[in-house]
Chain A
């Protein structure tokens, strides 16, 4: 089995375009966590996010031969995921119904029991605030935070003018701020 431990991202992409499954594993392993977090926060449901993760991987594997490298691979990957989420939300009319009790945080901000309480409260507040956002505001915010895409790229992916995208970001952060401030988590 060839594992390609030493390949660069560009080399892995080229191997994936030739349908090398091991290279695809190496490539996706790097992005699986931010991608899954983006999906969970987008749909508000871990099980649904797992299905969307599956759909995203199928689409990425299928359409990678058409990727020409005009944008960063991460941008391309998250634009595929964004479309998968958008289609799923349209199809199923899924609205935020967070059920994170079963989830196991893999990125903890807590170090002591007291910290854990604060972290859990913050997580709940943030998730509720996110789910209360209009879909476009939520998608812009999540794309920026999880994919690290530039706002100009987000504008291309969402098909909206840059100023509209910046407004979405501004309102999303303002609503998050209000939620956190109402609960005295920020001054």
Chain B
């Protein structure tokens, strides 16, 4: 029983040893392991070997960084600073709210502005048609489609065209119908 417990303790020490070496263990736990080390040559040997390997590693020579290369790296890092101050912050801090705000604005404002624009244009066209109605033809109805199109019905048929070109087309239509009317009278 005691031997089994000791074996478990030694197995645990294989992990705890690193925390012991880096002095990350709480005082009481540190003392427990020190007590164990006094009576366990196996764990004492493991600890000494680990220390030996780390000491050898620390003494192994390593590559040097040239002063000129260091200065270059420093200069480039400082020059690489983005001009826009907000970009210095992690992108998530500002990009996410900005994207959300832009999405909402697009969802709510753009269709509304477009509708207002269509309605304004429709009113202008309708007024124009009403003014011409008595002289040339009757505009029986005018409605808007989802696309920026005006659909209106005259005694000459159903017309569908882009709103921005409606007025120009009305002028053409006016001429056409006038000629047609003259021809009919003749």
Contacts and interface: CB of A to CB of B under 8 A. Distances in A.
A84 to B, nearest CB: 12
B84 interface: no
Max chain A Cβ within 10 angstroms of own Cβ: one of B24, B57, B59, B63: B63
Interface residues of A, number: 54
Interface residues of B, number: 36
Instruction: Tell me if A's interface is mostly helix, strand, loop or mixed.
Output: helix
Contact of A103 (B50, B63, B70): B63
Contacts, number: 122
B19 A65 contact: no
Given A25-B74, A65-B89, A166-B18, A106 B81 contact: no
Max chain B Cβ within 10 angstroms of own Cβ: one of A62, A105, A176: A62
Interface in B9-36: 14-15, 17-19, 22, 24
Interface string A26-56: 0011001100110011000010011001100
A28 B64 contact: no
A50 B19 CA distance: 32
A100 to B, nearest CB: 6
Given A53-B73, A62-B88, A24 B61 contact: no
B77 A61 contact: yes
Contact of B64 (A103, A109, A170, A173): A103
Contact of B62 (A29, A32, A63, A106): A106
Contacts of B64: 103-106
A49 B52 contact: no
Interface of B: 14-15, 17-19, 22, 24, 49-50, 52-54, 56-65, 69-70, 72-74, 76-78, 80-82, 88-90
In order of increasing CB-CB distance, the 8 nearest A-B pairs are A105-B61, A103-B63, A57-B77, A106-B64, A109-B59, A36-B65, A54-B73, A61-B77
12 contacts: A28-B74, A32-B65, A53-B69, A57-B74, A65-B89, A66-B90, A103-B62, A107-B62, A109-B59, A123-B61, A144-B22, A166-B19
